[in-house]
């Protein structure tokens, strides 16, 4: 009978550490809920001790999801374990994930610790974690470069002390599939108490081998795999969840394993990550890239028409790829709209659905055909009414090749008073952003601006993604409209509202609710937190 492989998702911890991928609290909760819909078994929600923000988001995710285990990372230190436990203890299924490096290289140069001392640390801290929480994972950081005999001793000690999952990371993405299989095989045969724990894989992608190494680890005996949506993560990233899952599913004949992943949720999960972070998915990315199921060449198209199996090893539908189909129009009522949103997997509150329906109706007046992709773009750009200080009332822009662009914009503050300003600039977007800046009286810099068409038609919606910054951090915004200038202003306001909201919170809270020490001590290693990016 096929055996189950447990999917441990670390998008919100190892993935979120990668530059460009950081998310704010609300975004992390949304992502965690999507991971729950995707059916992951374990969500590593963060590294609770690393910052008050991380602590808060691990705690919030623990409260937001029900089915998956929620884990927090902790170094083999009492204060880390306490923070991890405090953050996950209210989860329905909490886990503490303790790690310590075991390779001589890390012990000698990073930790300045003897092998014996490391074993003592493992015993002491895993036992301490076990006294707080039943579900304990222990990771030997840099396991793949650790002397095998010593690795076996470290694992045995961790299991004796209460670990029920033991993880063997290829932290620097150095190993090959045969080496990974040999390491797992060695641990299986040389660790006396290995039957009391699940072996886990955690492979980085520096040589592009993370997924191959993970599959080799599974064949050798691992039953938990650590991975991230789209393979995001430190440096070249982690093993990609969708690639592991679809390899196991598509090649069930070879592997003989199954996962509990709802594969139809894969595409939505990748899209949510991309729309949240503004990082585009590479078109050639396996499983979730735009070209993953595109058959351009005539020979392929001919084969596909005769029998799709000629060139298609899995169907787009099996990973939830949304086709551009005509869905709703001007005459569609809220009932049909609501049903469609549910079909697309959005569980909106009444207020959000009403706001989106109004937006949909406005769009119908300007664009005849509204597709699933249009609806997804609209819902993902929808402002949160609770944090929407500034909203667009009206705008007029003048632009041409023989003139300076000018913008006149009216914004509504807190749904009450209207403010208006005029500004000029070298282009219509520049003039508009200057107008917004004048009205809100809060300077900011534009860090990034991206404009894309949601669909291929001439009357496509334009989707604008911006990153703006002030002294307190970087803020992302998204706007969607048939008018690209309007989309630009909406994206800017979306980011501005986050910025003002964050700044007012910073003024209101001088003392964090969570008091912890964040000294960058020598155990911190590669898990340092980067600067604020919202
Ligand atoms: O890559 C790694 O070794 C890790 C551990 C902390 C699990 O991320
Ligand atoms: Zn890692």
Phi and psi based region of residue 173 (left: phi greater than 0; alpha: psi -120 to 50; beta: remaining): left
Mutate to test the pocket of ligand 1, among 101, 106, 141, 210 (most ligand atoms within 8 A of CB): 141
What is the Cα–Cα distance from 30 to 380, expressed in whole angstroms?
A: 11
Q: Which residues are within 8 A (CB) of 346 and not within 5 positions of it... i.e. 6 or more apart?
A: 379
- First CA to last CA distance, the chain: 46
pLDDT given for residue 521 in this prediction: 40
Architecture of domain 385-507: 2-Layer Sandwich (3.30)
Q: Of the given ranges (65-79, 220-234, 281-295, 341-355), which has the lowest mean pLDDT?
A: 341-355
At residue 482's C-alpha, the angle toward residues 477 and 485, to 5°, is: 55
| 8 CB near ligand 1 (under 6 Å) | no
Work out which ligand 1 atom sits closest to the CA atom of 13: 8
Give the Cα separation of 223 and 199 in Å (integer): 6
Ligand 2: centre distance to CA 518 (Å)? 20
The domain locations on the chain are: 3-283, 334-381, 385-507
**Confidence class of residue 139 from pLDDT cuts 50, 70 and 90?**
very high
Question: How do residues 73-125 score in pLDDT, each as one tens digit?
Answer: 999 999 999 999 999 999 999 999 999 999 999 999 999 999 999 999 999 99
Average pLDDT over residues 158-187: 98
Binding site membership of 234 for ligand 1 (Cβ less than 6 Å): no
Using the mean position of ligand 2's atoms as its centre, give its distance from the Cα of residue 204 in Å.
6
169 lines ligand 1 (CB under 6 A): yes
Query: HSE of 302 in the Cβ direction (CA atoms, 13 Å)?
Result: 3
Residue nearest to atom 1 of ligand 1 (CA): 171
C-beta of residue 324 within 8 angstroms of C-beta of residue 372? yes
Distance 73 CA to ligand 1 centre (A): 9
**Does 331 or 41 have the greater pLDDT score?**
41
Q: What is the mean pLDDT of residues 328-342?
A: 85
Can you tell me the distance from the alpha carbon of 409 to that of 419, in angstroms, rounded to the nearest whole number?
8
Which pLDDT score, from 0 to 100, does residue 372 have? 80
Instruction: Strand 473-481: give its sheet, edge to edge.
Output: 445-453, 462-470, 473-481
Give residues with Cβ within 8 angstroms of 400, minimum separation 6.
Answer: none
Cα(75)–Cα(402) distance, rounded to whole angstroms? 62
Q: What is the mean pLDDT of the chain?
A: 90
Does the beta carbon of 47 sit less than 6 angstroms from any atom of ligand 1? no
Output the CA 237–ligand 2 centroid distance in Å: 8
What would the CATH number be for the domain defined by 3-283? 3.20.20.70
Residue nearest to atom 7 of ligand 1 (CA): 139
The DSSP letter of residue 146 is S
């Amino acid at each position: 009978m096929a055996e189950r492989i447990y999917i441990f998702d670390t998008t919100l911890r190892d993935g979120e550490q990668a530059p460009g991928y950081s998310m704010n609290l609300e975004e992390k909760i949304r992502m965690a809920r999507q991971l729950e819909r995707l059916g992951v078994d374990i969500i590593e929600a963060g590294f609770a001790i690393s910052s008050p923000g991380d602590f808060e988001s691990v705690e919030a995710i623990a409260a937001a999801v029900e089915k998956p285990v929620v884990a927090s990372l902790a170094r083999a230190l009492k204060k880390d374990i306490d923070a991890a436990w405090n953050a996950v203890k209210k989860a329905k299924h909490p886990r503490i994930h303790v790690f310590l490096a075991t390779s001589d290289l890390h012990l000698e140069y990073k930790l300045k610790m003897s092998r014996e001392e490391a074993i003592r640390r493992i015993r002491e801290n895993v036992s301490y974690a076990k006294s707080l929480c039943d579900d304990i994972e222990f990771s030997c950081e840099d396991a793949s470069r650790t002397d095998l005999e010593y690795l076996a001793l470290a694992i045995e000690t961790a299991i004796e002390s209460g670990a029920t999952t033991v993880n063997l990371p290829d932290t620097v993405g150095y190993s090959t599939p045969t080496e990974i299989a040999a390491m797992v095989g060695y641990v299986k045969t040389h660790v006396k108490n290995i039957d009391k724990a699940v072996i886990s894989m955690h492979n980085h992608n520096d040589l592009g081998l993370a997924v191959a190494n993970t599959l080799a680890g599974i064949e050798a005996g691992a039953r938990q795999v650590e991975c991230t949506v789209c393979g995001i993560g430190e440096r070249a990233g982690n093993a990609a969840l969708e690639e592991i899952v679809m390899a196991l599913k598509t090649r069930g004949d070879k592997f003989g394993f199954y996962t509990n992943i709802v594969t139809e949720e894969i595409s939505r999960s990748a899209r949510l990550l991309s729309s949240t972070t503004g990082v585009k998915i590479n078109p050639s990315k396996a499983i979730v890239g735009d070209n993953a199921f595109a058959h351009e060449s005539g020979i392929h198209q001919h084969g596909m028409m005769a029998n799709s199996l000629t060139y298609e090893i899995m169907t787009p539908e099996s990973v939830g790829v949304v086709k551009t189909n005509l869905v709703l129009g001007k005459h569609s009522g809220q009932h049909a709209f609501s049903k469609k949103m549910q079909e697309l997997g959005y569980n909106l509150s009444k207020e959000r659905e009403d706001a989106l329906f109004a937006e949909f109706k406005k769009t119908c007046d300007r664009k005849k055909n509204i597709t699933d992709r249009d609806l997804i773009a609209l819902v993902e750009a929808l402002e949160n009414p609770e944090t929407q200080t500034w909203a667009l009332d009206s705008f007029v822009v003048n632009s041409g090749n023989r003139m300076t662009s000018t913008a006149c914009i009216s914004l509504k503050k807190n749904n009450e008073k209207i403010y208006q300003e005029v500004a000029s600039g070298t282009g219509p977007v520049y003039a508009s952003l200057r107008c917004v800046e004048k009205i809100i009286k809060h300077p900011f810099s534009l860090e990034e601006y991206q404009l894309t068409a949601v669909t291929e038609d001439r009357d496509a919606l334009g989707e604008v993604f911006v990153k703006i910054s002030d002294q307190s951090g970087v803020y992302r915004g998204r706007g969607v409209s048939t008018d690209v200038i309007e989309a630009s202003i909406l994206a800017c306001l979306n980011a501005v509202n986050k910025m003002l909201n964050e700044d007012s919170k910073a003024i209101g809270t001088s003392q964090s609710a969570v008091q912890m020490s964040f000294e960058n001590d020598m155990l911190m290693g590669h898990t340092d937190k980067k600067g604020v990016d919202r």
